[in-house]
Structure 1
Amino acid sequence: MSIDIHHVVALEQFKPMHTVSVAAAADAAGFAGSVVADRFQPWLPSQGEAPFVWTLAGAIAQATSGKVTVSAIPGYRMHVAAVAQASATLAAMVPGRHTLTLAAGDAIDEHVVAGYWPEAADRISNLFDAADAIRKLFAASLKGKDIRHSGPGIRLESARLWTMPDEAPPVAVWAAGPATARRAGRTVDGIVVQAGRPERMAALLAAYREGCAESGRTGSATAHVQLSWADTDEQATQNALREWPMAGLRFPRGDIRSPFDVAQLVRSVTAEDLRERMCISSDPDIHRAHVQSFLDLGFDTIHVHNIGRNQQEWIDVVGREILPRLVR
């Protein structure tokens, strides 16, 4: 049975064409796909980049042979119709290889269009409204029909996508709590869950499966796993502190509006804070066991993000010492 381990390409950290090279290297090493996320700003000024995700997704799709997953935020900077059009076009370019993952969004990216930034509960409502609208638009467009949609926060008027693949791409959502996971099981094609403690992950997975059972649906559950690998434990720790310290913050980041504010807030983050939230080690076997633990819990797909800039070295290690030893 194939193991679906996908490589996360953090667009915030690299020049656009370098991200394409990184994705191509991961594809050659045996990763099943590439994962990119829509960002308007980096989390930290020192990360330095924030290219347009759909341009990079198209380039990565042409440079690789695996899946291309795009995490998008509908309804703020990009209208739901525009997200659906971008996704459908990518899926038409690489049939069967694209998944659209929808997220509720963070103010650091979405506040720039100067609209009211809603509370967390309203963002979740908007997320499912967007997912419903996009799935309806995909289904109608495949039949050559227009649709209208009037939801809590989203409206579509006589809408149709004229460029479509033969089969609509799967639509998944990010889920942070059991209610969201269960709702996703009832309404969309999959969930993505940020890796955390095993008991929390098991609870979210169970809630999602319950939602699937309630609706008679089948879907895919993905764990998004961040880690830090380097040649030494000290370097792996320094990479985490320098490149992804926001993972150690003990409060939600969704309302922060500036990378410069994040840089100030993470000054108090310690190595121990980060070790509580990600695997930090120079030992490939420790990382292999960490990734394997999510497969053992029952997740179908793992998105793996090594937060350092040492991507080629990491990809070489994964292809040689981790991917061949993972089991389903």
Structure 2
Amino acid sequence: MLERFPPAEAVALSALAESHGFTGVMASDHFQPWIPAQGESSFVWSVLGAIGERTRGDFGPGVTTPGFRMHPAVVAQASATLAAMHPGRHWLGLGSGEALNEHVVGPYWPEAPERINRMFEAVDVIKKLFAGSLAGRDVRHSGQHFKLEATRLWTMPAVAPEILVAASGPVTAKRAGRTVDGMITIGAPTEKLAALLTRFREGAREVGRDAARMPKVLQLHLSWAPTDEQAMRDALSEWPNGGLRIPRSDIRSPFEFEQLARTVRPEDFAGRMVVSADPDVHRADIQRHLDLGFDRIYLHNAGRDQAAFLEVFGRDVLPGLRA
């Protein structure tokens, strides 16, 4: 969570995580933190480059939004460069965006259906650039939202990065299954997650793809600390997002978000985010999501003492998980 840690610390924690048995890193692409107290928001592509040098596992932005702050062609170039430097390790996560990050460059902020259509058109642009560049030819695009004059990416890996799309609704999940390599979503009630996975599989099946071989990725927020009381304090102060029960994609300022976050109470985390000092409770929740059908789960702990979290989970949680 680059909103919460300075970039050098985030890189060091990524390396520390790997030393405790974690095998990959997802880094947030924010222009602003969610709330002012989080205090950071570094440029994800710079941090990912450093993470690639300090670790050996997979890594990617989860997720970046092409088309507002950066044109899809620039996102494609950034991703291709990382993949060329670290073959087989980098993946590209794309989302439809949130006003908190994207409104800062001053465009009209569209409603959700248009944002989703923009995202999938951006996917088309990026896929064209990846495929054309690998084939050694220029490509063009002229669509409803984006234009690309004849060009190619001159730095490419031997194999294009996987493209994963963030989905929080059934329509997006199904389109992801039809059009990209995999899906990313965040922790939610079991019924919702099961429905998203079903729709993703349906979309893949419609175009003759095997969803079982496609990445299904979960970003799981949690709060662990040595005591239950500290875990709850961390959740309320550091990650009130986990208990907020209103849509957040149209919020424009960390200070606005701070006002809304003050309404979050301990009971609001129930069923949405595990808050506990017991590693076994967290292990059971992670296992539940693996059993549901997710292939990769990236954990975000709300507390500031990430070193203690990584040590405890590396020792007491990860070894007990079954793929």
Q: Scaled by the length of structure 2, what TM-score is found?
A: 0.97
Aligned positions, number: 319
1:211-230 paired onto structure 2 within 5 Å: 211-218=203-210, 219-230=214-225
SS in 2 for 1:46: helix
Once the two structures are TM-superposed, the CA of residue 118 in structure 1 deviates from its matched residue by: 0.7
**SS where residue 262 of structure 2 aligns?**
helix
Q: Which residue of 2 aligns with 1:59?
A: 50
Q: Please list, as runs of the form range in 1=range in 2, the aligned pairs for 1:86-101 lying within 5 A after superposition.
A: 86-101=78-93
RMSD of aligned Cα (Å): 0.9
Residue in structure 1 matching 2:197, options 200, 205, 208: 205
Q: Give the structure 2 partner of residue 296 of structure 1.
A: 291
| Mapped partners of 1:139, 1:83: distance in 2 | 15
- Matched with 1:3 is none
CA shift digits 1:157-183 (9 cap, x unpaired): 112100000100000100011111111
1:259-285 deviation digits (Å, cap 9, x = unpaired): 001111111110111233100000000
Match of 1:119 in 2: 111
Cα offset for 1:192?
0.6
| Residue identity opposite 1:56 in structure 2 | V
Query: With CA pairs under 8 Å and 6+ residues apart, which has the higher RCO, 1 or 2?
Result: 1
Percent sequence identity over matched residues? 54
Secondary structure of the residue aligned to 2:250 is coil
Measured in 2, the distance between the counterparts of 1:130 and 1:72 equals: 11
Shift of 1:246: 2.2
Unaligned runs of 5+ in 2: none
Following superposition, the deviation at residue 216 of structure 1 comes to 1.5
Please, which runs of 5 or more residues in structure 1 have no aligned partner?
1-9
Which position in structure 2 is the counterpart of 1:43? Answer: 34
* TM-score after normalising by structure 1: 0.96
SS at match of 1:166: coil
Q: 1:211: Cα distance to partner?
A: 0.8
Structure 1: distance between partners of 2:209 and 2:302? 34
Cα distance, 1:305 vs structure 2 = 1.0
Q: Which residue of 1 aligns with 2:18?
A: 27
Match in the other structure for 2:239 = 244
Listed one character per residue, the Cα deviations across residues 178-207 of structure 1 (whole Å, up to 9, x for unaligned) are 111111000000001111111111111011
Runs ≥4 residues deviating over 4 A = none
The secondary structure found in structure 1 opposite 2:288 is helix
CA offsets per residue over residues 28-83 of structure 1, 9 Å max, x none? Answer: 11111011021100001010000100000000110001001212110000111110
- Residue identity in the other structure for 2:120: F
The equivalent residue for 1:188 is 180
Query: Does 2:274 match 1:279?
Result: yes
In the TM superposition, residue 301 of structure 1 has moved relative to its aligned partner by: 1.1
Q: Which residue of 2 aligns with 1:78?
A: 70
Name the residue aligned to 1:172: 164
SS of residue matched to 2:59: strand
Cα offset, 1:120, TM superposition: 0.7
